[in-house]
């Protein structure tokens, strides 16, 4: 009877040890999965951040292009106006020089 009790206690201890080992393995497995998930999430977030940054950079490039084109148009108009003004004053200057010569 005592031997049976000892055997039952040993079996129970062995089962408990097995349960503890399985729990440890499960915990290690869950921890490993969690670490892998965290790594993948981090990579995914990094990729998303890069894509957003690239989109913002492209939008900024387009704004700069548009502003540059607008500035070039304004400068071209000013150049044209200055040329026209200079041409009209050139004619007046020639007439003034000719008038002073005679």
What are the residue boundaries of the structural domains of the chain, listed by start?
1-102
30 pLDDT tier (thresholds 50, 70, 90): very high
pTM to 2 decimal places: 0.54
Predicted confidence band at 9 (pLDDT cuts at 50, 70, 90)? confident
Count Cβ neighbours within 10 Å for each residue of 1-22 and write b for 16 or more, e otherwise: eeeeeeeeeeeeeeeeeeeeee
Using CA atoms, how far apart are residues 83 and 88, in angstroms rounded to an integer?
Answer: 9
Instruction: Supply the pLDDT for residue 87.
Output: 84
**pLDDT (0 to 100) of residue 102:** 66
What percent of the chain shows pLDDT beyond 70?
99
Tell me how many degrees the CA angle 32-19-24 measures, rounded to the nearest 5: 20
Residue 21, SS3?
Answer: helix
Look at the alpha carbons of 32, 37, 43, 49 in this order and tell me if their dihedral is positive or negative.
negative
């Amino acid at each position: 009877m005592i031997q049976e009790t000892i055997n039952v206690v040993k079996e129970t201890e062995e089962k408990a040890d097995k349960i503890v080992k399985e729990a440890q393995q499960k915990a290690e497995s869950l921890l490993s999965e969690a670490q892998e998930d965290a790594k993948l999430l981090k990579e995914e977030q990094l990729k998303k951040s890069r894509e957003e940054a690239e989109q913002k950079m492209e939008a900024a490039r387009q704004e700069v292009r548009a502003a540059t084109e607008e500035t070039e148009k304004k400068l071209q108009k000013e150049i044209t106006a200055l040329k026209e003004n200079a041409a009209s004053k050139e004619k007046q200057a020639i007439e003034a020089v000719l008038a002073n010569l005679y």
